[in-house]
Copies of this chain bind each other. A is one copy, B any other.
Amino acid sequence: MKKPTNVGIRELAAHLGMAISTVSRAMNDRSEVSAKTRKKILDAAEQLGYRPNQSGRSLRSGSTKAIALTMRTDIGRSTAGETFFMALSEGLQSALADAGLDLIILPCASDQDENQFLYRAVDRKLADGFIISNVQRFDPRIDYMKKWHVPFVALGSSETPGDYAALDLDFAGVALRAVRRLIDHGHRRIALGLTAQETNNNYVFLEGFRRGLGEAGIEFDDALVLRLHDRISGGYELGSALLAMDVRPTAVVLIQETMAMGLYQRLGEAGLQPGRDLAVIGFRENPVCRYLTPPLTSFRIDLKQYGVRLAEMMVSVLEGMTIPEAQSTLTREVWSMDIVPGQSDAEPVR
Contact = CB atoms under 8 A, between A and B. Distances in A.
A111 B94 contact: yes
A79 interface: yes
A109 B97 contact: yes
A87 interface: yes
Interface in A82-120: 82-87, 89-94, 97, 102-112, 120
Interface of A: 1, 3-4, 51-56, 58-59, 64, 68, 71, 73-74, 77-87, 89-94, 97, 102-112, 120-121, 123-126, 147-149, 231-233, 261-262, 264-265, 268, 286-288, 290-291, 293
Contacts of A147: 1
A341 to B, nearest CB: 18
Given A109-B93, A124-B53, A126-B54, A262 B288 contact: no
How many copies of this chain? 2
A106 B104 contact: yes
B90 A288 contact: no
A59 B53 contact: yes
A82 B108 CA distance: 15
B123 A109 contact: no
A149 B55 contact: no
A288 B109 CA distance: 22
Nearest to A72: B86
Contacts of A90: 73-74, 77, 107, 109-110
A61 to B, nearest CB: 9
A264 B53 CA distance: 52
B103 A107 contact: yes
A262 B53 CA distance: 47
A86 B82 contact: yes
B86 A83 contact: no
Nearest to A120: B51
B51 A123 contact: yes
Given A232-B290, A265-B293, 9 more contacts: A3-B148, A55-B58, A77-B83, A78-B288, A82-B85, A89-B107, A90-B110, A93-B112, A105-B105
Contact of A59 (B59, B68, B74, B105): B59
A84 B82 contact: yes
Contact of A293 (B81, B91, B268, B290): B268
Given A55-B55, A73-B87, A79 B287 contact: yes
13 contacts: A51-B120, A55-B125, A73-B87, A73-B93, A79-B83, A80-B286, A81-B83, A82-B84, A89-B107, A232-B287, A262-B291, A264-B291, A288-B288
A106 B108 CA distance: 14
A163 to B, nearest CB: 13
A336 B85 CA distance: 29
Contact of A79 (B81, B92, B102, B126): B81
